[in-house]
Amino acid sequence: MRIVSARAALLIGTTLATFGAPAQAEDAQPERDYLPSDIVVTGDRDGYGNDDGSTATKTPTPLIDVPQAVTTITRDQLDDQNVTSLNEALRFVPGVSMETGEGHRDEVFIRGQETTADFFIDGLRDDAQYYRPLYNIERVEVLKGANALIFGRGAGGGAINRVSKKAIIGDSRVIGAASVDTHGAFSIAGDVGIPAGDTVALRLNGTYEEFANHRDVYEGRFIGFSPTATVALGAATDLVLSYTYDNDERVVDRGIPAFLGLPVEGYDETFFGDPDYNFSEVEAHIARARLDHDFGGGLSANATVQYAHYDKFYSNIVPSEALDTDNDGVADTVALGGYESGTVRENLIGQANLVWEGKTGSIGHTLLLGVEASRQNTDADRFGATLADPDVDLADTIFIPAFTTSFTRASTSELSTLSFYIQDQVDLADWLQVIVGARYDEFDLESYDIGNDFAASRKDDKISPRLGVIVKPQPNLSLYAAYSESFLPSAGDQFTVLSGSSINLEPESFETLEAGIKYAPRADLLLTAAVFRLDRKDTAFTDPVTNLVLQTGETRVQGFEAGLAGSLTDQLHVNLGYTYLDGEVRSDTNSAGIGTELQQMPEHQVGAWGRYDFTDNFGLGLGVVHQSSQFASYSNEVVLPSYTRVDAAAFYTVNDRISLQLNVENLFDEDYYPSAHGDNNIQPGKPLTAKLGVRFEL
């Protein structure tokens, strides 16, 4: 297997070699990280506001100067809501709707674009299909619109980046947290920081969770730990090392089927699977090393190498359509199927960035030059489950007939990528900025379909531009307009195997036009609003008449979003958002004609959370999630009804070391269906659920 091309190895090696040059500014710590050190919470609450936009540019850029809509969930908000997984946190982000992910992975729609792979950690791809935890995460960022220049392939509707916790030199901490809810689910977590002299810091985060909810037979557990080390190699050079081990085991719950265009009534707790067969296990190892150096004179560089290994298996019995065999208007049977699947993935990614902040005459520049190379190896197999009688009686407890499994498919693939990018943030005047750049991506995919004995390979290269104009009538107000592109190669976002039909297809394209405003009435509060249009083109589909694969699929999403995040007063902290989306198919396909509404894209979304501290010891929190009705799939035949969920919380600080909190999810016990996987795997939301938590700090 080839790791990266010789060109990529040479370029990364050359960039790393520059760190050996003598520093010209021995008295300055590196401050030009694209993930600056000052984002890390050091014990005091930082609230819900965030002014760091560096992830969107890979340069030290305030969020108000980023010509793009970005939603951030801070560590304080995650703690106040007592959420422990990424999919729970994203429910409060308008513009993002949740797919059930077949009950075993994170899967989302961002501005109407479905993805299983546009997930990143510290700006590097984390694309395996699993549930991502938050115990070692400082904040979550959702960057909307096409993002190819920063993130490469995919990211057509947006990208989700997790900023990890890291060791801080001089910081000492022992923080623990535990919680239990009314279904019996519980979690314990620890965060320990250890200073090791003036130049070394260590930090360890770990957690153990057990899962439970209102659904019959659902259970599972999660184990995770993540040590990090920060080493100051000099006054201008830092090395950050980290390793994460995550192990997740849980029942695979595929939800409930539909009947007459709606979720089938009366079975929100019924498990449509086999308790002994529906199971998922994921083991993930992620190791990363990052080196930062400040050369002085406005020139800095960073380089990161990340290795990840994912081993995943899941098996499940799956419900299909509920049927009315008696013709009395009441569902009485349900069709079942099933399968099991295993995937082993190995990723190696190297990235290096050179940043220069300076002037040419009176014009200011923040210039970024970068290179990224990666190798991804994936082995996957699948076995189908054949039931003796696939149609079973609909009941509170589903009887699963005997079944057998047989080989369906297996594949192996190797993906090598090489990318170069350049970007310049130009200050033409105090009130006028321009950002312009482009990224070149080269893909080399080789795959072997073992079951069909079909070997294939394909090479693609794409250039993705980015252009933005920012007008600042005053320092705390910006108006912007931007254009960006992204693409997705024909093998899809998981790059598992090329088929005889996909091997000749060109990549899909995404184009985003966006205009917006950002206003900071106070240093820790940001108001944003944006209008946008996203065009997706060259989507492949099979012509129902000729049975040929065509590539003329086209969709368009237009919308508006607004947000307010930060502190309205010293006591009131909020993160409020609203999104309006209007999306439709603009070409005839085999599954959807012109005018078909996009799947799982509610027209209106509200995500709101706030906390008010009445005293230094007591505070209350309130949250609202609203989604208007949406179609479960492109068939436009099954509707997920609109809903409004209200959450609440109470916080009490016992003393300087101990605090208590009570979180209530779905305060008014709303019946709702927040997500689906097609028309017949619909996930019921939780009923009223209370969670009691305690946090201590030594």
Helices and strands, counts by H and E, the chain? 4, 37
672: Cβ contacts below 8 Å, ≥ 6 apart: 641, 643, 645, 684, 685
pLDDT-wise least confident of 31-40, 180-189, 441-450, 519-528 = 31-40
Q: Using CA atoms, how far apart are residues 685 and 673, in angstroms rounded to an integer?
A: 5
**Alpha helices (H) along 524-587:** none
The correct answer on CATH 2.40.170.20 for the domain covering 6-697 is yes
At residue 41 the predicted structure's pLDDT band, cuts being 50, 70 and 90, is very low
> What residues does 149 pair with on adjacent strands?
none
At residue 592 the predicted structure's pLDDT band, cuts being 50, 70 and 90, is confident
CB 114 within 8 A of CB 107: yes
Does the pLDDT at position 313 exceed 80?
yes
Does the pLDDT at position 434 exceed 80?
yes
At residue 76 the predicted structure's pLDDT band, cuts being 50, 70 and 90, is very high
Q: What is the pLDDT of residue 8?
A: 40
Q: What is the pLDDT of residue 272?
A: 96
Residue-wise pLDDT tens digits, 101-152: 999 999 999 999 999 999 999 999 999 999 999 999 999 999 999 999 999 9
Which sequence spans correspond to the domains of the chain?
A: 6-697
pLDDT-wise least confident of 166-180, 285-299, 494-508 = 494-508
> What's the angle, vertex CA 152, arms to CA 150 and CA 155, rounded to 5?
90
Query: Could you give the 3-state DSSP secondary structure of residue 10?
Result: helix
Q: Using CA atoms, how far apart are residues 586 and 541, in angstroms rounded to an integer?
A: 13
Please count the CA atoms within 13 angstroms of the CA of 402 that sit on its side-chain side: 1
Please state, as a whole number, how many other Cβ atoms lie within 10 Å of the Cβ of residue 31.
Answer: 13
**What is the residue type of 38?**
D
Q: What is the pLDDT of residue 34?
A: 32
State the pTM of this model.
Answer: 0.91
